[in-house]
Amino acid sequence: MITPTELDLTDATAFVRHDAHTFWRDVRKHRPVYWHEGDPGFWVVARHADVLSCYADVRSLSSARGTVLDVLLSGGDSAGGKMLAVTDRPRHRELRNLMLRAFSPRVLGAVEERVRERTSRLIRTVARQGEFDFAAAVAEHIPMNTICDLLSIPEADRKKLLRWNKLALSSDDAESDRLDSLEARNEIIGYFMDLARHRRRDPGDDVISMIATAEAGGRPLTLEEAALNCYSLVLGGDESSRVSAICAVKTFAEHPAQWRALREGTAAVDTAVEEVLRWATPARHFARTATRDMLIGGRQVRAGDIVTLWNISANNDEEVFDQPRRFDPARSPNKHLSFGHGPHFCVGAFLGRAELCALLSALTESVAEIEVCGEPAPVYSNFLNGYASLPVAFR
């Protein structure tokens, strides 16, 4: 057993070297809320009930200094108060209302249709290929193109955005450092500043034009605010969906009986999507800063303390999920926290679900058996959970 004091949660390789689920099971049982030493240290919240109530308590727990542990430890997020995810009420509500216009049924209906077509075309192509890397051949193309369609990003720019995006919050390379991430983020923001400036002058019928010309709280967004909020869509829209798709394929390959159940219709695609999201838990944690003294799970938290909410643990809490380490595509209800909870609940949840639904539907139509043919490469991150490559063969 690894004790909480032995595992450094700031280390991007911690869960590549240690079994996460054994660790979190012990934490939930013995120290469900604990103080992680460091400079600065931070609180670790592991139980589903506590994580849920922390997400809901936006009065005591602020997002404005940042919501990712690494960012908070390195001094906070410079986008605080400007970008949706790192803004508190009342500005958060104004920005969220604006951003939700990007996700109107009219816009989403068209995007969903394109997701289905693209996914089914990709799967039909790779199904004939023999062995291939599912991440490079399929998973990288679906979410990034979906979000780029939504934002009308020119085809020629999509590859470089994907490259920057992979570096921005995590790394496929254990040696990569924080400076690479910072540079990648600056590149993306600079790119969107240019695009927002251009579309403000010459608006079209796309989401960047809408964000660049819209008002929130009675004034137009600044160019920087517009760029940051476009960035948050690309960032949120690409990575989590990409690793979920990779996890879906890997998990069904490892669970052939469940794959048969899905193909034969004993398990529905909708419940399978939710179970994949729980199993994948693409964002291991999100974080907050306490704005006042408070109790979490009976522990005294002080104003100014960093509080980390571990979705990966909450999604496997035996108090909420019967046999949590059983992959059950028919599981219902499935109260996973992969999209968070409360006022910051993921604005892209509909799209994330639609992408997985399109993937599982296309796979059940063309693929009888999935075989993993080599060692998948992990993502090195204490935030993003999943794999960067997955060698497979479809039959």
Per CB under 6 A, residues contacting ligand HEM are 55, 63, 67, 84-85, 96, 147, 232-233, 236-237, 240-241, 244, 282-283, 286, 338-340, 344, 346-348, 351-352
Nearer to ligand HEM, 161 or 233 (CB): 233
Closer by beta carbon to ligand HEM, 147 or else 388: 147
Provide the minimum distance between the beta carbon of 240 and ligand HEM in the complex, in angstroms, as a whole number.
3
Q: In terms of CB distance, is 143 or 393 closer to ligand HEM?
A: 143
As measured in angstroms, the least distance from the Cβ of 288 to ligand HEM is 8
Are 241 and 150 in contact, with CB atoms under 8 Å apart? no
Q: Which two tokens stand for residue 141?
A: 């193309």
Cα dihedral 177/183/184/188 (nearest 10) = 160
| Residue 106 vs 201, nearer CB to ligand HEM | 106
Tell the smallest beta-carbon distance from residue 103 to ligand HEM (Å). Answer: 7
- Residue 149 CB, nearest distance to ligand HEM (Å)? 11
Whole-number minimum distance, CB 146 to ligand HEM, in Å? 7
Q: Which residues contact 356 (CB under 8 A, 6 or more apart)?
A: 241, 244, 245, 248, 273, 276, 277
Q: Which is nearer to ligand HEM, 151 or 392 (CB)?
A: 151
Q: How many CB atoms lie within 10 A of CB 252?
A: 24
| Assigned token pair, 366 | 């063309």
- Helices (H), ranges, the chain: 14-17, 20-30, 48-56, 69-73, 91-100, 105-127, 134, 142-151, 158-169, 178-201, 207-213, 223-254, 256-264, 269-280, 311-314, 349-366
Cβ 364 vs Cβ 263: under 8 Å: yes
Distance between CA atoms of 195 and 370, rounded to whole angstroms? 41
Cα 118 from Cα 146, distance rounded (Å):
9
Q: How far is the CB of 29 from ligand HEM (least distance, A)?
A: 24
CB of 151 to ligand HEM, least distance (A): 9
Residue among 72 and 393 whose Cβ is closer to ligand HEM: 72
Phi, psi at 308, each rounded to 5°: -105, 135
How many other β-carbons are positioned within 10 Å of the β-carbon of residue 300? Answer: 9
> For residues 153 and 393, which CB has a smaller minimum distance to ligand HEM in the complex?
153
Least spacing, CB of residue 47 vs ligand HEM, in Å = 17
Query: Strand 285-290 relative to strand 377-378: parallel, antiparallel, unpaired?
Result: unpaired
- Minimum CB distance to ligand HEM, residue 352 (Å): 3
Q: Which is nearer to ligand HEM, 296 or 393 (CB)?
A: 296
Nearer to ligand HEM by Cβ, of 32 and 237: the residue is: 237
- Residue 37 burial (10 A CB sphere; 0-12, 13-18, 19+): exposed
Taking the least distance from each CB to ligand HEM, the nearer of 28 and 353 is 353
Exposed/middle/buried for residue 361 (C-beta within 10 Å: 0-12, 13-18, 19+): middle
CB of 87 to ligand HEM, least distance (A): 7
The CB-nearest residue to ligand HEM is 348
Spatial CA neighbour of 169 closest among 12, 16, 384, 377: 384
